[in-house]
């Protein structure tokens, strides 16, 4: 039987609903702060999530706006200024309690720590945002939970490119099949699969109805056993635990075709 040695966590959407309630709100506050009449509502931001990376998302949006700066260089400079402001507001959102970890996440992290399953973060977001979220949610020693932390600025190509997962695997010294990623978005799934990492999908607000091809399990979140594919034996009120991840990982060849 294949052994699971490490759980690789995506951050935005997977650890917390950071996109809708955190980054989106913070981008809008940044637009306001610079006196720009721009606003990303929930639906528009959902479309923009197809572009990973905050600066990249801003530049993509500006490219189709008649009231944005004319040259690519000016748009880049404005994107950088907005991004700095956005990150500041994001940290405030997090500190105010507007964004918290999704239910079940800390429990599974605790089980990994207790049972010697290594953990890593594989994210497209900037380190400053990971730090802001996890310092509040896991405490000042948050980084010691993870043996590798690879963020947006550490890679040349963001998800769906597999670079972030390849870097995590190299830092852990593990082969992909010894690990399992937890992701919420098709781009994240694609990144992990391209690095041959098996993936469990916990659906998030923005990707509730998205199609996920090639995951070993898909469900509504780690907090409940109902609604998962493959179906789980009922255990009234029980959340998903590390044993479920280990089972899915062990059976991955049988289940990835069928979920
Ligand atoms: C999510 C992203 C990020 C965030 C914003 O990454 O695509 O761009 O929306 O973060 P993941 P920055 O799901 O891999 O955690 O503004 O720091 O880029």
Q: What is the pLDDT of residues 49-86, one digit of tens each?
A: 999 999 999 999 999 999 999 999 999 999 999 999 99
CB-count exposure of residue 189 (10 Å: 0-12, 13-18, 19+): buried
Whether residues 141 and 166 share a domain: the answer is: yes
Considering only 164-168, 215-219, 232-236, which range has the smallest mean pLDDT?
232-236
- What are the beta bridge partners of residue 200? 182, 217
The reply to whether 181 falls in a domain is yes
Q: Are both 111 and 80 inside the same structural domain?
A: no
Distance CA 222, CA 188 (A): 17
Indicate whether 122 and 84 sit together in one domain: no
What is the bridge-based pairing of β-strands 179-183 and 148-150?
A: unpaired
What CATH number should be reported for the domain holding residue 33? 1.10.150.240
| 62 shares a domain with 145 | no
Give the domain extent around 163. 6-17+101-257
Q: What is the pLDDT of residue 256?
A: 54
Question: Does 142 share its domain with 199?
Answer: yes
**Burial of residue 199, with CB atoms counted within 10 A of its CB: 0-12 exposed, 13-18 middle, 19 or more buried:** buried
In a domain, 72, yes or no: yes
Q: What is the Cα–Cα distance from 250 to 128, expressed in whole angstroms?
A: 35
Both 133 and 247 in one domain: the answer is yes
Residue 29 lies in a domain: yes
Note if 253 is an active site residue.
no
Q: What token pair was written down for 36?
A: 């720009």
Average pLDDT of the chain?
95
Quote the ligand 1 centre to 49 CA distance (angstroms): 9
Q: Is there a catalytic annotation at residue 247?
A: no
Give first-to-last CA distance, the chain, whole Å. Answer: 21
Q: What's the structural domain count of the chain? A: 2
**Shared-domain flag, residues 66 and 129:** no
Rounded to the nearest angstrom, the distance between the alpha carbon of 204 and the centre of ligand 1 is 14
Q: Give ligand 1 pocket residues (Cβ under 6 A).
A: 10-13, 19, 23, 52-54, 83, 123-126, 129, 152, 159, 185, 188
**CA-CA-CA-CA torsion sign (191, 185, 203, 222):** positive
- In a domain, residue 234? The reply is yes
- Ligand 1, atom 7: closest residue by C-alpha: 52
Final residue before a domain boundary, out of 37, 65, 95: 95
- CATH code of residue 135: 3.40.50.1000
- Looking at the structure, tell me whether residues 88 and 29 fall in a common domain: yes
171 and 120 together in one domain = yes
| H helix runs in the chain, sequence order | 18, 24-33, 42-48, 54-63, 72-95, 105-114, 127-138, 163-172, 186-194, 242-250, 252-255
More confident residue, 1 or 44: 44
Point out the domain boundary residue: 95, 124, 158: 95
Residues 64 and 130 reside in one and the same domain: no
Chain segment 94-118, per-residue pLDDT in tens? 999 999 999 999 999 999 999 999 9
Distance (Å, whole) CA 140 – CA 33: 30
For residue 173, report the phi and psi dihedrals to the nearest 5 degrees: 70, 35
Looking at 79, 95, 111, the residue that finishes a domain is 95
On whether both 228 and 202 belong to a single domain, the answer is yes
In a domain, residue 1? The reply is: no
Closest residue by CA, ligand 1 atom 16: 54
Poorest-confidence range of 92-106, 161-175, 229-243? Answer: 229-243
Among protein residues, the one with the nearest Cα to ligand 1's atom 8 is 53
């Amino acid at each position: 039987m294949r052994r699971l040695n490490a759980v690789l966590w995506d951050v935005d959407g997977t650890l917390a609903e950071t996109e809708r309630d955190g980054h989106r709100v913070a981008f809008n506050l940044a637009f306001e702060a610079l006196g720009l009449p721009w606003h990303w509502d929930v639906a528009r931001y959902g479309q923009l999530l197809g572009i990973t990376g905050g600066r990249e998302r801003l530049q993509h949006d500006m490219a189709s706006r008649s009231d944005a700066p004319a040259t690519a260089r000016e748009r880049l400079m404005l994107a950088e200024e907005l991004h700095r402001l956005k990150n500041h507001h994001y940290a405030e959102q997090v500190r105010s309690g507007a964004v918290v970890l999704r239910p079940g996440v800390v429990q599974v992290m605790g089980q990994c720590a207790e049972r010697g399953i290594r953990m890593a973060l594989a994210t497209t977001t900037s380190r400053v945002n990971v730090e802001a979220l996890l310092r509040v949610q896991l405490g000042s020693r948050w980084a010691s939970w993870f043996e590798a932390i690879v963020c947006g600025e550490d890679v040349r190509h963001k998800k769906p490119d597999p670079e972030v997962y390849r870097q995590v695997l190299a830092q852990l010294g593990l082969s992909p099949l010894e690990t399992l990623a937890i992701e919420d978005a098709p781009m994240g799934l694609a990144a992990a699969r391209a690095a041959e990492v098996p993936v469990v999908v916990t659906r998030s607000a923005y990707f509730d109805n998205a199609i996920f091809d090639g995951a070993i399990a898909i469900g509504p979140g780690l907090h409940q056993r109902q609604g998962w594919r493959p179906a789980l034996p009922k255990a009234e009120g029980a959340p998903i635990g590390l044993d479920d991840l280990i089972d899915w990982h062990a059976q991955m060849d049988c289940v990835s075709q069928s979920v």
